[in-house]
Structure 1
């Protein structure tokens, strides 16, 4: 049995096979997921698992150098936005590397998910609780 935090086999495989600049999306329960993109559906019910819990686990398993968020997140869900930014600051301290943050419109965000290796769907029901992670390197 795996010893690290990530027990989900699909997520474990995904994080183990990410290459530099590969992108993955973590989304709320309502984000449309392109048919051609791998869907890893974790959603059980409203709020379970949460967006932030899923973000934390992926950050613990992957080196992230960039994130993309919809600009609407800061406007519509400022508390979640602030909590997410804090997660990124904490991760920068843990890994000693900076994380570049980019904002796009929600419509642009949805188009960009088509380039993700996978979209991880959570049970989150907070508006615009979506992020694209760009993989970095550990060296």
Structure 2
């Protein structure tokens, strides 16, 4: 049995399989998951687990090259956005796109990891990097 860190089997499998330039999304509880994209739903009650906790744990184990947020997060949940950015590795490339485009790009993601977050526009596209 895993003693510490992430132990959700489906999430561990995903994190072990993603490679350079693959994208995954960490989303709030309401983000739609397109047909054919792997859904890893961690939410079990309102706001559990929190988006930031999920992001913190994934940042610990994944090489990240780029992060993409919805433009709308700047106006609707700016404090939440700033906390998200503070969790990410320093110097990371950060992009912003319309939320409708984020949902469209989600169709090409390896997986969408849903938190239990009930805060609007709390979604991130993570582009995986390479460890060497």
Q: Which structure has greater helix proportion?
A: 1
Q: 1:114 aligns with which of 71, 86, 107?
A: 107
Q: Is the 8 A contact 1:76 1:127 kept in 2?
A: yes
Q: 1:103 aligns with which of 71, 96, 99?
A: 96
**SS at 2:53 equivalent:** helix
1:87 aligns with: 87
- After TM superposition, which residue ranges in structure 1, 4 or more long, deviate above 6 angstroms? none
Give deviations 1:79-135, integer Å, cap 9, x for gaps. 1011011112xx23xxxxx32111000000000000110000110000000001000
* 1:21-32 → structure 2 map (5 Å cutoff): 21-32=21-32
1:35 aligns with: 35
1:130 aligns with: 123
Aligned length: 132
Q: CA RMSD in A?
A: 1.0
1:95 aligns with: none
**Residues 137 and 3 (structure 1), Cα distance of their counterparts in 2 relative to 1, 3 Å cut:** farther
TM-score, normalised by the number of residues in structure 2: 0.96
**SS at 1:114 equivalent:** helix
TM-score, normalised by the number of residues in structure 1: 0.91
Q: Is the 8 A contact 1:6 1:61 kept in 2?
A: no
Return 5+ residue gaps in structure 2 as ranges.
none
Cα distance in 2 between the residues matched to 1:75 and 1:87: 20
**SS at 1:65 equivalent:** strand
